Structure 1
Amino acid sequence: MDELDTPVLDNHLHLDPEHGQGMDAVRDFERLGGTHLLVVNKPSWHLGPVPSEQGDFRRAFEATLDAVADANEILPGKAWPVLGVHPGLISHLLDEGYSPEEARDLMQSGLDLAAEYVDDGHALALKTGRPHYEVSDAVWDASNAVLKHGLELGAEHDCAVQLHTEGTDDLTEVAEWAEARGLPAENVVKHYAGGELAGPTPSVMSEKERLLTAAEAGEPFLMETDFVDDPDRPGAVLGPKTVPRRVRWLLAEGHDDAVATAHVETPKDVYGIDTEATLDRDE
């Protein structure tokens, strides 16, 4: 297969070397032309018991750092960890008997721990959000408090914040929350986005229709698969080969500028990473 003359970044995927494909997924990504990864920790309840104290989040964070270190032995570019607390955890905590307020406090403490990894240079960005499914007003309010705390931490630690939210093309209000806390809206990234989004930067699911919309809009965007690396859900979301395949397709369709936007310019503007300077295909 012809070598791609561009960095290729998957902005949001998960790796689980213990239970899933792990480095085989990274090798598949690399063989198709992938160069860079942002690896998001799997939800904490996938890797052990539902957390009951702040330190319980560390297992998922450390597993992600280990996976990133292994991926960096394979990639011609670089992988970075994104650490945080999945918003769906609140429902698991409620099932364990927590009140929404107690769940909020525990989840915020998990974000505080993730921010320590950012502060010491071991993680690139944070992950937070709110449920994408129907919840009570009390749970919605608690979830928004967790989200806002994540935005505050992003501002405090000068890092980007990835969001898992409901499906929408308008998160203007969330962008305003970020700006009010000192975090530029462009440094807030909606994972699993469509081709256009008001407010934060969209991380577009790498389906052709969504990517065409993003390419034609001409606005900053990223590309992702949300690969879950779960053997119990082998067909869930998109596979690790998808982003490099879609980059080849975009280039064939004449969308060179969109590829540069998604894989060079937007990563630099949002995360401060240089996907060209960190790429060495000769290694």
Structure 2
Amino acid sequence: MDSLKTPILDNHLHLDPEHGQGIDAVKDFIQMGGTHLLVVNKPSWHLGINPTSGSDFDAVFETTIDIVETASEILPGRAWPVLGVHPGLISRLVDERSYDPETAAELMCAGLDRAASYVQNDTALALKSGRPHYDVSESVWKASNRVMKHAFRLGGEVDCAVQLHTEATDDLTDIAMWAEDRGVPAQRVVKHYAGGTLAGPTPSVMSQKDRLETAAIEDEPFLMETDFIDDPDRPGAVLGPKTVPRRVRWLQQNGYETAIEQAHIETPKMIYEIDTESTLASNS
């Protein structure tokens, strides 16, 4: 595989060393030219963990931290963990475990507190939160927004970016204002699974050609992701780990050099304060 001579970062994917491809997915990414990864912990229930306290999330986080360390040993660049509580947990707590929404929110906030402690001691890079992308009751919606605001408060306290899982939309200016009010600049709020344009936060664009072309033409800060879920029971779900390097090659072939630099060098530096060029050089 010819070298693309640029850092290549997948901003949002999952790795499951026990049930999924784990490090083999990282090797696939590297084979296609990938260099850097932001690895988001899988939802707690995907790992068989049913938390009842904030500390119960530690096992979820440690699984991600461990495989990030292994991935960094073989990547041309390195990987970083992004830790948090999947917003879909509130439905599992309310619908399956008979929590009321407010009590469920308290548990999720406690999990975010634990995630922030890893960011505080430089074990993790950023937080992950959000709200359901499907229809929920008004009480669950309000509780979910409360959890997300708590994530912003924590992000402000530990000075980190916050990745969000939300409903599909091209306008989240209200959420960006909530973040700003709690100490997180709007640009450091990252909407995962985004389209090519987004008002408010920074889009982490799903690496489909139409979305990427829109983002490239917009000439605004953006990131690229696959949301690879590493689930053997859903092998065709979302995008595979080879996709981002392939799409970078496609962008290059179509003359979008500036967009490549934006997504893989400038925007990561702006949002996460990471230098994909120097970390690539130091490992070469």
TM range (shorter): over 0.9
Match of 1:253 in 2: 254
Q: Does 1:13 align with 2:23?
A: no
Mapped partners of 2:50, 2:237: distance in 1: 22
Q: Which amino acid aligns with 2:39?
A: V
Please say if 1:74 is aligned against 2:83: no
The structure with the largest helix share of the pair is 2
Matched, 1:201 2:202: yes
Instruction: Provide closer, same or farther for how the CA distance between residues 281 and 155 of structure 1 changes in structure 2, counting only shifts above 3 A.
Output: closer
Whether the aligned pair in 1 keeps the contact of 2:132 and 2:165 (CA below 8 Å) is: yes
Q: Measure, in 2, the Cα distance between the counterparts of 1:281 and 1:138.
A: 50
Q: Matched residues in 2 for 1:53 and 1:169: separation?
A: 35
- C-alpha distance after superposition, 1:34-60 (max 9, x if no partner): 000000000001112321111111111
Segments of 5+ residues of structure 2 without an aligned counterpart are none
The 3 A distance-change label for structure 1 pair 281 and 115 is closer
Structure 2 equivalent of residue 171 of structure 1: 172
> In the comparison of the two structures, how many residue pairs are matched?
283
Kindly report which structure 2 residues correspond to 1:19-168, keeping only aligned pairs within 5 A, or say none: 19-94=19-94, 95-168=96-169
| Equivalent position SS for 2:73 | coil
Q: Please state how far the C-alpha of 1:202 moved relative to its aligned partner.
A: 0.2
- Change beyond 3 A, Cα 1:184–1:281: closer
Do the aligned partners of residues 175 and 37 (structure 1) sit closer, same or farther apart at CA in structure 2, a change above 3 Å counting?
A: same
Conservation of the 8 A alpha-carbon contact between 1:47 and 1:59: no
Give 1:233 deviation, angstroms: 0.5
Q: Distance in 2 between matches of 1:182 and 1:52?
A: 29
Q: Deviations over 1:153-179 (max 9, x none)?
A: 111100000000000000000000011
Counterpart of 1:224 in structure 2 is 225
Query: In the alignment, what sits opposite 1:182?
Result: 183
How far does the alpha carbon of each residue in 1:103-153 deviate from its partner, in whole angstroms, 9 at most, with x for none?
Answer: 000000000000000000100000000000000000000000000000111
How far the C-alpha of 1:282 sits from its partner, in A, is 6.5
State the match for 1:239 in structure 2: 240
* Greater than 4 Å deviation, 4+ residue runs: none
When normalised by structure 1's length, the TM-score is 0.99
Structure 1 segments unaligned to the other structure (5+ residues): none
What is the TM-score of this pair, normalised by structure 2? 0.98
The residue aligned with 2:280 is 279
Residues 176, 282 of structure 1: alpha-carbon distance in 2 compared, 3 angstrom cutoff = closer
Give the structure 2 partner of residue 265 of structure 1. Answer: 266
CA distance in 2, matches of 1:282, 1:43: 31
Aligned letter for 1:32? M
What CA distance in whole angstroms lies between the structure 1 residues aligned with 2:99 and 2:39? 29
CA contact (8 A) 2:77 2:283 kept: no
